[in-house]
Structure 1
């Protein structure tokens, strides 16, 4: 019932406002409506002070239009009563008596001052800020959308989070665009107030003298009182709404409301308070200046400065005590505690002391982003990433982070405080520290956060510090997924398969393969960035192969063949697959030179032939990259493991597929290169 009333309140109110323009309103009802107008403006002003983000009060532009229309309707209703009855209720009369204070001239001066404050100062400034804010917000939209897409592609956010962020960016642009137009309502309201007071005064005097037979002085006193009261009772809410407009368009996203942010930031400098207090006390001794007010204000500033000093000293003491406790190991030493400290964690992020703030940043928490990354990798690769331990290290240089796997450093980077990473080519005009992106190798700069919009305007992709760390972590996890897959992980995954496909597990484990052997197969797949989320199909293929041989290489190839269409789909462009072939004679020679070893099958050939094969392959890959294309190398199934090991160190990221894997998918095959050598191959 309450929701239905809330839905109908605004439509009914707008219809009532339209009726105010046509239907006469009794003085008592007008008093009630004027009080509502004043309180609505006051509540709106206080709400703008307590919201943390402008979008939290997104209804403000529409509310501003309705409130302006409401005041104009009240102006029409009050004008009708003033001119027809010479009385417009107690509220208008009371405002007139208070403002005039026995002098019509004083009343007019006060009213004109209010109009000047609203029209020239508040309204004009708010209109300009809204216009600039709308233009900057619209200009920054492409860069923000690119940053969202980059986070989504890196796995830092989910699809739902990306949609929410895009909706927020769109809503922000719509809000500032609406505020740009809504500010014109405030300006028009101020002009209408001036026109209406002139009409009321001239029309009232004319009616008083011509229709009611009043002397000009008596008519002036009567209608001037009502006119000024009417003007004040409508201009005060208009001024409050204008101030609300200025506050909402000048507010930036913050963690606290306006009052908390202002008090915190105004008292952050003890020196500023001390200097201001000294200036106040010094001005007290200027001849003619009031001594007591200046001394009281100066003393209050000194007290606040001392309070700020005491608070900072207490915070510093707590920080030092915490550091001493950690350094000296003041906590009770227990066996469990020592075991925990000795334990080597699978994944760790070490942060320098000045980077600890990104762990507790409410707007972009590192721990929350890492949790989202673990879910993303689990969905993409089918492996559950172990919890990531995050801790600080006083041994690291400033602004540095280190990513460890099993206690060994796997990656290192920087994320300077108060800066963002801008990636692009035209960054010479931006101040900052030049750097290279640790994941993609792109050149960029760490620029001050306040220069983010300027960097986006120059076409750069801007990434915050947390995104840099999490993207780096994602790259390292993907490259080392095989190392992170433990025996316990395999057991948990196997139990999960057994719940949905018990026959696949019962036939395989433990009668044909042990968990250790299955782990080795899954690690082999992950080493080539092959997702293992289709475990039932993998287990079924392993069951068939294990009945013939338990050779790890053969088991991996059997699992790959079962996933053939999925493997090929990763390298398709439309329905086309570009492939690099091996010359049939060369391939036959390689097959003849194939030999088993402890590390798997290897191809025996002399050094000159090996260099010729790799050189021919590198030439084909370079030609494709020059044209912005990519391809896969295909070969006989028996050769695939050996060739993959042969070329992995030479051609970074070049996939190697077998003929059977390629033909298992219904795709169009386009040969874009052939590996040939003229040297003879000897075993």
Structure 2
């Protein structure tokens, strides 16, 4: 409910919350001007202490800094509240301090008498120690962490944005998730920047606390001696203790808030609160506990030591270490038993007569994993790889134009425990190894420092990478690495392989399903094409040829209309493919040059072009170039293609229509990233710019 009815009056709770902050600020500012009675001071000091404890506990139960985005603002408000209380209590102390130690309320009296024993020398020393701890140790450290984190977070933003774009393009995440991650990155940078400035509030509050203490002491002595004719001893007994109580009651909450700030900015989030994180990482190693217990026990045997205390702690540490060791051994034995059970289950218990049911069809696309990767594909163990693969298939269908076959997943005990392989029609097309308890830090080419870990390569694109511990994620991201988990590595590899082998994935059944789906919107067009003009196999071959050269099938209407027009003239697959490519010219060029009006291309030297045309005309089996000339062309093409990619441009070779297909087949293996276009495939709306001439020295 957003409102409450009280008789005829209805209170809107949302509006009340919106007015809460302005009212709080106005009340805090009013405290600096208006005199407050001692009872109200007691209430406000108690509220200040409770607020400090509330902020401290909230910071301890956060799992990551962004869970407490309001902390910089809270830091400012609590600092302003403490300073206002100092001003209000100073007014009361100086006006009524001569009446006794309870002139400013019971809270200040308690802090001035009971906490320091009524000794103002002890009170001053305790106050100074608290100031040193707060100002030099906690506040300075937290401010330094916030400053460094802000700088590295800003430096790591481009790498994080690239990682988000890569996951979005691979179909691992949706647009909403990408927006959420981008917002989180922005909030993280703003949070650490705000904390860097907010730490100055606490530092200024500590300095102000010291100054206010000595002002209260000096001012109180002057007021007591001069205005109230008190002796120096009586004035010191009243005003100094009141000033110390006032300082302590304000600075203890300030120390609590400073500790909360340190906890928030020093958090390395792993999805757990501070208590769980410390208990798991500090007490998880049996060897550490046992050795610590032995050292404590040895110290307890030294003469004149409190033997009982040391030996009790030593026994406790040894017992805890033994318990942790037993727990670790039980987990290891359970894992080994599980592996053995799976191995036994995979072996037939008895010989059964062979039948036709033993013949299993080969999976179109398969994924086999080692036993340590089973949690990635097991829903019962929160494995998210299955969900990622579904996203990959959906993204593939949206980008390429047909639904790929399902990926069948099974475990394979013959693989290494952390290895996996991707199969296409039973043949291995990709293999890799990932570690579920580590993260892969991929070097995009602009990292600022090296990391400690196991060197490897990204299985999808071959980029240099390092396997790192999960606790090093933030350091790797700040250094410019793209950090991904094991599921993302496998999913990205599968996505890359599906796009690479798209032509092989389009079988007869996929082609039939694609045409049937298109028939729902334009039934007459498909009916005119097949089987009247061309058989389904010819349509499949044309579509496979397009996919083989990176042309998507989303514009299926244009493809089918072109086939209907050209089928009356020829049924040759290569000629039909060439005609379809010309019809899709705008789409092909846009995928290479984007929305820029100019297309940068490579061209052949006229003499080399003439030689190739003569070779194609005289050969009935493609293009038979002299080996030395072919090697030179491939070498020059590789060099120029790399230069185009370094400039952020797709490497495109523009050639006459007659020799486009032979050259495309020639460079498919040698220079796979090269796209070969014919002159007829350049739309009239596009202009071309020759970047380099191949074979100019031939």
> Please, what TM-score do these two structures have when normalized by structure 2?
0.82
CA-CA distance at 1:71 after TM superposition: 0.6
Q: Does 1:526 align with 2:542?
A: no
SS of structure 1 residue aligned to 2:443:
strand
Instruction: Choose the corresponding residue for 2:332, options 309, 316, 320.
Output: 316
Aligned to 1:98: 114
Alignment pair present for 1:382 and 2:406 = no
1:386-434 Cα distance to aligned partner (Å, 9 max, x none): 3434555443346544222222111223446465343549999766666
More displaced, 519-528 or 504-513?
A: 504-513
Q: CA deviation at 1:49?
A: 0.8
| Contact kept? 1:612, 1:677, Cα under 8 Å | no
**Alignment partner, residue 210 of structure 2:** 194
Question: Which residue in 2 is equivalent to 1:325?
Answer: 341
* Aligned pairs, number: 665
Runs of at least 5 residues in structure 1 that lack an aligned partner in the other structure:
596-601, 679-683
2:151 to 135, 147, 152: 135
CA displacement at 1:525 relative to structure 2: 1.5
Task: Kindly indicate whether the alpha-carbon contact (under 8 Å) linking 2:439 and 2:484 is maintained by their aligned counterparts in 1.
Answer: no
Shift of 1:351: 4.0
**In structure 2, distance between residues paired with 1:622 and 1:37:** 70
CA distance in 2, matches of 1:549, 1:391: 46
Q: Secondary structure at the match of 1:570?
A: helix
Report the 3-state secondary structure (helix = DSSP H, G, I; strand = E; otherwise coil) of the residue aligned with 2:104. Answer: coil
Q: Which residue of 2 aligns with 1:420?
A: 441
Aligned partners of 1:100 and 1:225 also within 8 Å: no
Q: Does structure 1 conserve the Cα–Cα contact (< 8 Å) formed by 2:634 and 2:667? A: no
CA contact 1:349–1:404 (8 Å) conserved in 2: yes
Change (3 A) 1:358 1:570: same
- Corresponding residue number in structure 2 for 1:631: 652
Per the TM alignment, residue 674 of structure 1 is displaced from its structure 2 partner at its CA by 7.3
Q: 1:135-154 alignment to 2 at 5 Å?
A: 135-148=151-164, 151=167
Residue 493 of structure 1 corresponds to which residue in structure 2?
Answer: 514
Mapped to 2, the partners of 1:186 and 1:635 lie a distance apart of 73
Cα-to-partner distance string for 1:300-339 (whole Å, 9 max, x where unaligned): 3233223323432332343233212211118999x9xx98
Measured after TM superposition, the shift of residue 259 of structure 1 is: 0.6
- Please say which of residues 659-668 and 257-266 is displaced more in the overlay: 659-668
Residues 448 and 480, structure 2, Cα contact 8 Å, conserved in 1: no
Please say if residues 600 and 690 of structure 2, whose CA atoms lie closer than 8 Å, have aligned partners that are also in contact.
Answer: yes
The answer to whether the Cα contact below 8 Å between 1:614 and 1:650 also exists between their aligned partners in 2 is no
1:244 aligns with 2:263: no
Distance 1:232 1:502, change over 3 A: farther
- Equivalent in the alignment of 2:129: 113
Match of 2:366 among 348, 373, 384: 348
Mapping for residues 47-446 of structure 1, pairs under 5 Å: 47-86=58-97, 87-148=103-164, 151=167, 157=173, 160-329=176-345, 342=360, 344-353=362-371, 366-390=385-409, 392-397=411-416, 400-415=419-434, 417=438, 420-422=441-443, 424=445, 438-440=459-461, 444=464, 446=466
Which residue of 486, 491, 497 maps to 1:476? 497
Name which of 24, 45, 50 aligns with 1:13. Answer: 24
Equivalent pair of 2:142/2:261 in contact (CA under 8 Å): yes
Q: 1:576 — aligned with what?
A: 599
Cα root mean square deviation, aligned: 4.0
Q: Which residue of 2 aligns with 1:46?
A: 57
Conserved 8 A contact 2:152-2:479: no
Task: Please list the CA deviations of residues 340-360 of structure 1 after superposition, one character each: whole Å capped at 9, or x if unmatched.
Answer: 995543333444455567669
Change (3 A) 1:204 1:331: farther
- Asked if structure 1 preserves the Cα contact closer than 8 Å seen for 2:59 and 2:68, the reply is yes
Pairing of 1:437-476 with structure 2 (within 5 A): 438-440=459-461, 444=464, 446=466, 448=468, 468-476=489-497
Conservation of the 8 A alpha-carbon contact between 1:345 and 1:405: yes
Structure 1 residues 390 and 664: alpha-carbon distance in aligned structure 2, compared to 1, 3 A threshold: farther
Does the 8 Å CA contact 2:441/2:482 hold for their aligned counterparts?
Answer: no
Match of 1:557? 578
Residues in 1 aligned to 2:72 and 2:696: alpha-carbon distance in whole angstroms: 70
Q: When the two structures are superposed, what TM-score results if normalisation uses the length of structure 1?
A: 0.84
Of the three residues 661, 681, 687, the one matched with 1:661 is 681
Whether 2:668 is the aligned partner of 1:648: answer yes
Q: SS in structure 2 opposite 1:384?
A: coil
Are the aligned partners of 1:427 and 1:445 in contact in 2 as well (CA < 8 Å)? Answer: no
Change (3 A) 1:342 1:27: farther
Aligned-partner SS, 2:114: helix
The alpha-carbon distance between structure 1 residues 342 and 308, as it changes in their structure 2 partners (threshold 3 A), is farther
With 580-589 and 484-493 compared, the bigger mean Cα shift is at 580-589
The Cα shift of 1:260 comes to 0.7
Determine the C-alpha separation between the residues in 2 that align with 1:141 and 1:33.
43
